[in-house]
Amino acid sequence: MSSIGKSINQFMSEQQNETGSNTDDLSGLIADIASACKKIAHLVNRSAITGIGGVSTSENVQGEVQKKLDIITNDVMVEHLNHHGHLAAMLSEEIEDIIQIPEHLPKGKYLIAFDPLDGSSNIDINISVGTIFSILRCTDTSSDVWSDDFLQAGTEQICAGFCVYGPTTMMILTTGHGVNGFTLDSDIDEFVLTHPDMTIPEDTAEFAVNISNKRFWETSVQRYIDECIQGVDGDREKNFNMRWVASMVSDVYRILIRGGIFLYPLETKPANSSGKLRLMYEANPMSFIVEQAGGLSTTGYQRIMDIKPTALHQRVPVILGSKNEVERIIRYHKEEK
């Protein structure tokens, strides 16, 4: 699909024609997400002026101090997604329980899990942040929605995406038919297709990891990164470059553009002993996007999208990106076991 310059709405209806899928409802939901993201882009952009850039006094369900913008952007998502009858319920990084659609509003057939502002510790230093989302089908819409309705493997996602609020605001989207990137054109206030059919090169010479955690990693991950750092003098006989934005949306976006590998692996550090990133609204949607772009995504031991979730805010180790490097790390996990 190469309709550069098309709006997301036009793109979705073209995709519906080409794939024969009935995406009418989904298009409406994506339009709501797009308008929430436009609002968030505006809030992030003006945060220093309006004084909403700093920390609040509350903690989220992960025990992390919330930024004021974490709370505000959560509310923006809920307000924009509540009203149009597309959703049965929502799950947010910022809220412990699932968010029900109010009784007086129409309910729909989809569930959404989102991180309204990922990388929010980067806001005060003016580095890109983003919104990540995963859309699932609600199997039973006749009654109240329960946590169990959300606990579906990533393979059940019907759409995933993320927005990056950077030098440009971009939305990356997959509905299971490849990955496409849309840039917010502020002149017309629309996301327009600028990056059709995004594909991750199978090979790479660039890795992204928080290397200060090296002493907490398993030997398989230490071995992989050591070999990258040894460069032409080591077993790989190839030089590697390192990038770590500490904002997953930016690191994954870079990988979609020029390849690479991203690791937030298992650590012996108690806080990250099951991994740091959250399965439902970080690891799963990013894995869906990366796989749709030709990459791979694993915990080191298991394909992330095959994990059957057991808790709404479950954490997992994440290793994703260029296929040949991810396969190498999976092999190291088997060998070093």
- Residues making up the binding site: 93, 115, 117-121, 210, 276, 282
Binder to ligand AFP among 7, 73, 247, 297 (CB under 6 A)? 247
Q: How far is the CB of 213 from ligand AFP (least distance, A)?
A: 7
Which residues lie closer than 8 Å to 126 by C-beta, 6 or more apart? none
CA distance 323 to 303: 13
Which amino acid is located at 200 in the chain? Answer: I
Nearer to ligand AFP, 247 or 292 (CB): 247
CA distance 250 to 136: 24
Beta bridge partners of 136: 111
CA distance 119 to 116: 10
285 near ligand AFP (CB under 6 A): no
Residue whose entry in the numeric block shows the structure tokens 């959404």: 112
Encoded tokens for 205: 């010479």
Binder to ligand AFP among 94, 118, 218, 267 (CB under 6 A)? 118
Q: How far is the CB of 281 from ligand AFP (least distance, A)?
A: 10
121 near ligand AFP (CB under 6 A): yes
56 near ligand AFP (CB under 6 A): no
Encoded tokens for 183: 């840039």
248 near ligand AFP (CB under 6 A): yes
Q: How far is the CB of 247 from ligand AFP (least distance, A)?
A: 5
- By CB under 6 A, the residues from 290 to 329 that bind ligand AFP are none
- By CB under 6 A, the residues from 197 to 216 that bind ligand AFP are 210
Q: Residue 289: phi, psi to the nearest 5? A: -65, -50
Q: Residue 258: phi, psi to the nearest 5? A: -135, 15
Binding mask 254-283 for ligand AFP (x = CB under 6 A): ----------x------------x------
Residue stretches of the annotated binding site for Mg(2+): 93, 115, 117-118, 282
Beta bridge partners of 318: 264
Strands 110-118, 99-100: parallel, antiparallel or unpaired by DSSP? unpaired
DSSP 102-123: PTTS---SEEEEEEEEETGGGG
CA distance 274 to 245: 22
Binder to ligand AFP among 65, 105, 211, 246 (CB under 6 A)? 246
Binding mask 122-161 for ligand AFP (x = CB under 6 A): x---------------------------------------
**Can you give the binding site for ligand AFP, defined by CB under 6 A?**
64, 118-122, 210, 246-248, 264, 277
